[in-house]
């Protein structure tokens, strides 16, 4: 009775799913903090009295919308990457774009709003800045993990088909059964080569 191995049983796949989940959750936390800060600031009298109220309000709204869009793009591209439909390089570009277009402007706009208020930094302002920083760190880690996972995959794929066969079956069955099947496979390939040369 043979059983097929699902992707969930592969430790490398589990690790990659875990790493991508961390990145997605960091992005969602950042979006949540951005929108919370936006709605909190809209009702703040000290901010409404600031000279640059209209420009900063619009800037914050744009940052919140961009963060939301990038969180959705990151989620979809993570799923697509797990299915193998986009390359690691494309996913890296998405991570860099989110950092440069979503996180960095968030730092700047949140800081400018807190300065314009003139009443010191708010708790939600700190939360917005911290979640953006954490998201930026998670994106950087994901960027470099993708290289590590690709290198790991290359190393694991560099073995011969016979070695891969032996490794796959030795995990599922006892090693004697795998060795017998491997010997049969080698004999079959040997005879096929003999027939092809005649």
Q: What are the average pLDDT values for consecutive 10-residue runs of the chain, which has 198 residues? A: 48 80 90 93 83 88 93 89 82 89 90 85 90 90 70 54 62 60 69 50
Model pTM score: 0.65
Q: Looking at residue 130, what is its pLDDT?
A: 93
Q: Looking at residue 118, what is its pLDDT?
A: 81
Q: Looking at residue 145, what is its pLDDT?
A: 81
Q: Map the chain to HEC letters.
A: CCCCCCHHHCHHHHHHHHHHHHHHHHHHHHHHHHHHHHHHHHCCHHHHCCCCHHHHHHHHHHHHHHHHHHHHHHHHHHHHHHCCCCCHHHHHHHHHHHHHHHHHHHHHHHHHHHHHHCCCCCHHHHHHHHHHHHHHHHHHHHHHHHHHHHHHHHHHHCCCHHHHHHHHHHHHCCHHHHHHHHHHHHHHHHHHHHHHHC
Q: Looking at residue 114, what is its pLDDT?
A: 87
Q: Looking at residue 175, what is its pLDDT?
A: 53
């Amino acid at each position: 009775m043979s059983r097929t191995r699902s992707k969930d049983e592969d430790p490398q796949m589990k690790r990659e799913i875990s790493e991508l989940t961390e990145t997605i959750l960091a992005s969602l936390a950042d979006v949540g903090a951005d929108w919370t800060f936006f709605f909190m600031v809209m009702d703040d009298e000290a901010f409404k009295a600031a000279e640059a109220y209209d420009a900063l309000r619009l800037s914050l709204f744009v940052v919140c919308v961009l963060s939301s869009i990038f969180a959705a793009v990151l989620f979809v591209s993570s799923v697509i990457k797990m299915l193998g439909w986009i390359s690691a390089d494309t996913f890296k570009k998405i991570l860099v774009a989110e950092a440069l277009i979503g996180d960095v402007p968030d730092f700047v706009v949140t800081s400018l709003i807190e300065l314009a208020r003139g009443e010191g930094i708010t708790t939600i302002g700190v939360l917005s800045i911290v979640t953006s920083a954490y998201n930026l760190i998670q994106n950087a880690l994901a960027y470099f993990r993708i290289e590590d996972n690709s290198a790991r995959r290359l190393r694991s794929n560099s073995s011969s088909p016979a070695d891969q066969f032996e490794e796959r079956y030795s995990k599922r069955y006892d090693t004697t059964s795998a060795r017998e099947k491997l010997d049969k496979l080698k004999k079959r390939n040997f005879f096929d080569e003999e027939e092809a040369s005649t």
